[in-house]
Structure 1
Amino acid sequence: MGLHDLLSRQPESYVKKKEYSFHKTLGEGSFGVVRSALWKAAEPPINVAVKVISKKILKGHDEIVKDEMDVLRGLDQPHVVKFLDWFESKDKYYLVFEEATGGELFERILAKGRFTENDACQTIRAVLSAIQYLHHHNIVHRDIKPENILYRTKEEDANVVLVDFGIAAHLKDESEILTTVCGSFGYAAPEILAKKGHGKAVDMWSLGVITYTMLCGYTPFRSDDPATLAAETQRGKIEFHDRYWKNISAEAKDFVKSCLTVDPKKRITADEGIDHPWFTSHTAAPSSHDISAGLRENYRKRWKSAIAAVRASTKFKTFAALNASSSGNPSADVDGEQQQGQQGASQGKAASPFGGRRSPTDSHSSSVSNMDVFHAHSSSSSSEAPTPQHNDATQARAHDDEDADADADDDVWHETSQEGEGHTSSSSGIDKLKRGLEEVHLKSPPPSSSS
């Protein structure tokens, strides 16, 4: 079969692929990879990040990718990642974004050496401006966490950008209530965990968790047990331990409390947040005070392990939801959803490394299970985290993309039955992952230090 015949089988937009020179893999997982690439057709040519998503693993739910593109189209704000282009092959989607090369939020803070409350204030305000912009466009991000806040470049004065709109929702109107159980445990709002329906307010809760953690170095809710952590989150009791908070301003604490208000109707909005005194009129405690000490104490040896665990766990995110949707079982309870996600993982059925996707049944009564990621992300302490199980396979798949032959698209996303690629012959892989994840909880500071 000639090259012309091979290309003729591809979708029309596939011709765009020749505009890109693909380079190293930036991220990886079961739905695909994120590749660095040079967009040669741009004037001038620019480096971009290309999210490559397997259609085979989507199992016909192409609307998941299309929903993400619909959310991203037309967005233009300095702190929101720019969606530049897309194309598809017969078995993959390629989503093209600006490349953010400056590193993840907390990693950058740790590398910086000194980080003051004023620095935190400026950083949080930038993220808040992105949230405000999204909310003005009726978009709820739903997965705001440190890993999804990147610096655009490595320059000292680089902007932060909010990325990963995989489970973002575009509300039809202000009154729409979302019901999907989604997000990342430790950052998900109480109303998501309680399955009461949610809206824009969930993003402000997540920002409150990030702000709290940035200012003291540990998360506000820290139980090692997922059920207990969910209960703590829904109670919403937060403490400002004197050892870590004595040099933090009253305005900063008030902003945190305003975000971490359990009742979403009473929680501060993005518009109200921008006008909060912490951003407009506060005089921080001595700006020379280095608040990164808390992060260093609690995260230096644990943060990367926690992030590795989260990334390993993302392969459990959405596939259970797709199975539930396909099997006509939209009413599984939380425990059932957790089990379903774990079973899916043990069978090599995994979810996106780019964040869980919005369910095609989002407007219905919670047919999605992203609860697996809730097990995974409690931002915690660990001496060691589990290793993602399919790195070699994904790297091999990535190399296939460097081949200009259209046949590469036929074989790259084969379903594997090999142990170590997301498929295990027993539950041992899941048990190991769960044990590792249980070890990545940040230690709680001594209760005696509270004020």
Structure 2
Amino acid sequence: MAESVQAPDLASDGARTPSEDPEGEHSCPEDAGQPLNEEDEALSPTMAGFKHENVESLYELLENLGSGHFGVVRKCREKTSGTYYASKFIKTRKCKGSRLGLDREQVEREVSILQQLQHPSIMRLHDVFASKAEMVLILELISGGELFDFIAEKEALSEAEAIEFLEQILEGVAYMHSHHIAHFDLKPENIMLLEKKMPSPKIKIIDFGLAQKIEDGVTFKSLCGTPQYIAPEVINYEPLTSATDMWSIGVITYILLSGISPFQGETDPETLTNVASGNYEFDDRYFKETSEMAKDFIRELLVKEPKDRMTAVECLVHPWIKPLNRKQVVNRSRSSINMKNFKKFNARRKWKLSYNMVSACNRLCRMGLLCNQLKAEENLRQCESDQEDEPTSPVSLLRRRRSSCS
């Protein structure tokens, strides 16, 4: 049985030097910049295709886009093509027991998954560089911001317009699942726009830090995720499948249409209890303008039994997504999302993310981990939570967030 460990968000992890080890007890040779040799690569089959030269020989490094605990993200330009990308520098652990950097196998797993996914709705990995203590991921430059932020700027949005975005998400998820890969962390923060200022913005699903290859005969369980978006089987520590992603799609759709979360409680334990019960309702105060087809779509996803949920392929042919007649088309166009309430939800969501980020930076500074960095960078909003060493339990599932530059 394959079981997961808490996986910090690679996009939000910032750089630290070996000398900044707060414990000072795990010293390793200073080999961060030394390339791996053939013997090193042979020990890790997933390293195939990684480049071991200096990234600056092929890319011009430009301004910083963001930073966190284990790395920094910089805009870069490929010298041969002139194309712009985002380069994510990730510190990896140089020896067992070190608390500096991410576990190398974890990073390699995410890279391996991204290498298998080539779809317009999924963030693309262009190149990978590796040394003994650092990895550099050259990623598609996604500059349009979060989908929910984009929608919150609108005065009105019909269900038909919202479906244009949901359809792209579903197409990406269906493709992912067809390759036996589950994301396991679908939420608004991980659904971005490639570019904001275009007639029909393109969706990009990001952050595959918790993603897993689902293999026949192998049971996978995990207690990781964001409380209000995870499925009951996560809380109950039961086997996870691609159906786990479909529950998250149901929650996202519910929020998009109403501006409220179906299971959100006052505390994380309360939220998890609500999710485990699977009980929710369509309150007329928030769903007055919602079509019955949309409610049926959600009902087919927020089902406690994973095997009874619609698959992504089935979602794409549901009458709400793909109307069967003219009457259904008219119903969609006349129904709308609750924009007033949605704006309030998104504002609360953004405030909570900002509050958590500043709190995390303050905590790390008290631990002596970020003092040097904070002196150089006054903008706390670029700092992200370090959850690497926190325990994971059914009643304290840790929120994971993407960097604003992912």
Alignment TM-score, normalising by the size of structure 1: 0.67
Q: What is the match of residue 380 of structure 2?
A: none
Q: 1:308 aligned to 354, 357, 360, which one? A: 354
2: CA distance between counterparts of 1:27 and 1:311? 13
Distance 2:57 2:386 in 1: 28
Distance 2:336 2:287 in 1: 11
Q: Matches of residues 177-192 of structure 1 in structure 2 within 5 Å?
A: 177-192=219-234
**Cα pair 1:140 1:171 within 8 Å, conserved:** yes
| 3-state secondary structure, aligned to 1:49 | strand
Q: Retained in 2: the 8 A contact 1:309–1:376?
A: no
Structure 2 residues not aligned, in runs of 5+: 1-30, 37-50, 94-98, 371-382
Query: Aligned pair in 2 of structure 1 residues 262, 88: CA closer, same or farther (>3 Å)?
Result: same
Letter in 1 for 2:354: A
Maintained 8 Å contact 1:183/1:373: no
Partner of 2:308: 266
Secondary structure of 1:26 counterpart: strand
Partner of 1:30: 69
Partner of 1:238: 280
Say yes or no: does 1:369 pair with 2:392: yes
What is the letter of the counterpart of residue 263 of structure 2?
A: F
Number of the residue aligned with 2:249: 207
Task: State how far apart, in whole Å, the 1-side matches of 2:169 and 2:149 are.
Answer: 16
Secondary structure, aligned partner of 1:230: helix
Change (3 A) 1:345 1:207: farther
Contact 2:268/2:396 (<8 A) preserved: no
State the shift of 1:237 in Å.
1.1
Counterpart CA distance in 2 for 1:7 and 1:235 is 48
Change (3 A) 1:295 1:106: same
Deviation digits for residues 279-338 of structure 1 (CA, Å, limit 9, x no counterpart): 111333544746322212333x323212324656889xxxxxxxxxxxxxxxxxxxxxxx
Q: Which amino acid aligns with 2:353?
A: I
In the TM superposition, 1:113-262 aligns within 5 A as 113-154=155-196, 155-173=198-216, 175-262=217-304
* Deviations 1:137-165, CA, capped at 9 Å, x for gaps: 00010111111111011223121010111
Q: Secondary structure at the match of 2:137?
A: strand
Paired residue type of 1:139: I
Paired letter, 2:280: I
| CA deviation string 1:256-279 (max 9, x = no partner) | 111111111211111221121111
Q: Could you list the runs of 5+ residues in structure 1 that have no partner in the other structure?
A: 1-5, 316-341, 358-366, 379-387, 392-451
Q: 1:165-202: CA deviations, max 9, x gaps?
A: 111001223x4321121111111111001111211111
What code does the residue aligned with 2:352 have?
A
* 2:28 aligned residue: none
Determine if contact 2:180/2:214 at 8 Å carries over to the other structure. yes
* Aligned-partner residue type, residue 343 of structure 2: R
The answer (yes or no) to whether the contact 1:183–1:370 under 8 Å persists in 2 is no
With normalisation by structure 2, the TM-score equals 0.73
- Of all paired residues, the percent bearing the same amino acid is 30
- Does the Cα contact within 8 Å between 1:103 and 1:151 map onto a contact in 2? yes
Please give the secondary structure, in 1, of the residue aligned with 2:199: coil
Distance 1:14 1:312, change over 3 A: farther
> Number of paired residues?
336
Matched, 1:47 2:70: no
Deviation at 1:255, TM superposition (A): 1.0
Distance 1:370 1:347 in 2: 23
Query: Counterpart of 2:339?
Result: 292
> Hey, what's the Cα distance between the residues in 2 that align with 1:355 and 1:203?
25
SS at match of 1:73: helix
Give the distance between the partners of 1:304 and 1:84, measured in 2 at CA.
30
* RMSD over equivalenced CA pairs, Å: 3.5
1:181/1:368 contact within 8 Å kept:
no
On the 8 A contact 1:144/1:187 being kept in 2, the answer is: yes
